[in-house]
Protein backbone atom coordinates (compact mmCIF):
# COMPACT_ATOMS: atom_id res chain seq x y z
CA UNK A 1 0.00 0.00 0.00
CA UNK A 2 2.98 2.25 -0.38
CA UNK A 3 2.16 3.45 -3.93
CA UNK A 4 -1.52 2.70 -4.64
CA UNK A 5 -2.01 5.78 -6.83
CA UNK A 6 1.10 5.14 -8.95
CA UNK A 7 0.15 1.61 -10.03
CA UNK A 8 -3.66 1.30 -9.87
CA UNK A 9 -3.95 -1.45 -12.51
CA UNK A 10 -1.21 -3.51 -10.90
CA UNK A 11 -2.84 -3.00 -7.52
CA UNK A 12 -6.18 -4.44 -8.65
CA UNK A 13 -4.60 -7.24 -10.66
CA UNK A 14 -2.46 -8.31 -7.70
CA UNK A 15 -5.47 -8.18 -5.40
CA UNK A 16 -7.51 -10.40 -7.72
CA UNK A 17 -4.74 -12.91 -8.39
CA UNK A 18 -3.41 -13.16 -4.85
CA UNK A 19 -6.93 -13.64 -3.46
CA UNK A 20 -7.35 -16.98 -5.29
CA UNK A 21 -6.95 -19.88 -2.85
CA UNK A 22 -4.29 -22.41 -3.78
CA UNK A 23 -6.60 -25.37 -3.13
CA UNK A 24 -10.34 -25.40 -2.76
CA UNK A 25 -12.17 -27.30 -0.04
CA UNK A 26 -14.20 -29.26 -2.61
CA UNK A 27 -11.03 -30.64 -4.21
CA UNK A 28 -9.60 -31.59 -0.83
CA UNK A 29 -12.77 -33.51 0.06
CA UNK A 30 -12.74 -35.31 -3.28
CA UNK A 31 -9.12 -36.40 -2.90
CA UNK A 32 -9.75 -37.52 0.66
CA UNK A 33 -12.72 -39.65 -0.40
CA UNK A 34 -10.74 -41.14 -3.29
CA UNK A 35 -7.95 -42.09 -0.92
CA UNK A 36 -10.37 -44.39 0.90
CA UNK A 37 -11.97 -45.71 -2.29
CA UNK A 38 -8.81 -46.58 -4.20
CA UNK A 39 -6.32 -48.17 -1.81
CA UNK A 40 -4.21 -51.29 -1.33
CA UNK A 41 -7.04 -52.96 0.57
CA UNK A 42 -9.30 -52.53 -2.45
CA UNK A 43 -6.76 -53.56 -5.07
CA UNK A 44 -9.30 -55.78 -6.84
CA UNK A 45 -11.48 -52.77 -7.65
CA UNK A 46 -11.38 -52.21 -11.42
CA UNK A 47 -10.79 -48.75 -12.83
CA UNK A 48 -14.32 -48.78 -14.28
CA UNK A 49 -15.84 -49.55 -10.88
CA UNK A 50 -13.68 -46.91 -9.23
CA UNK A 51 -14.83 -44.31 -11.77
CA UNK A 52 -18.46 -45.14 -11.07
CA UNK A 53 -17.85 -44.80 -7.34
CA UNK A 54 -16.33 -41.36 -7.69
Give the phi and the psi of residue 48 in degrees, each rounded to 5: -65, -45
Cα separation values, 19 from 7, 9, 10, 14, 22, Å? 18, 15, 14, 8, 9
pTM of the model: 0.32
Cα-only R_g, the chain: 21
What pLDDT is recorded for position 44? 62
| Residue numbers in the chain where pLDDT is lower than 50 | none
What pLDDT is recorded for position 7? 86
What pLDDT is recorded for position 29? 78
CA distance 12 to 18: 10
What pLDDT is recorded for position 40? 60
Amino acid sequence: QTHPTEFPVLRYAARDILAIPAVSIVNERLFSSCKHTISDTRASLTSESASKTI
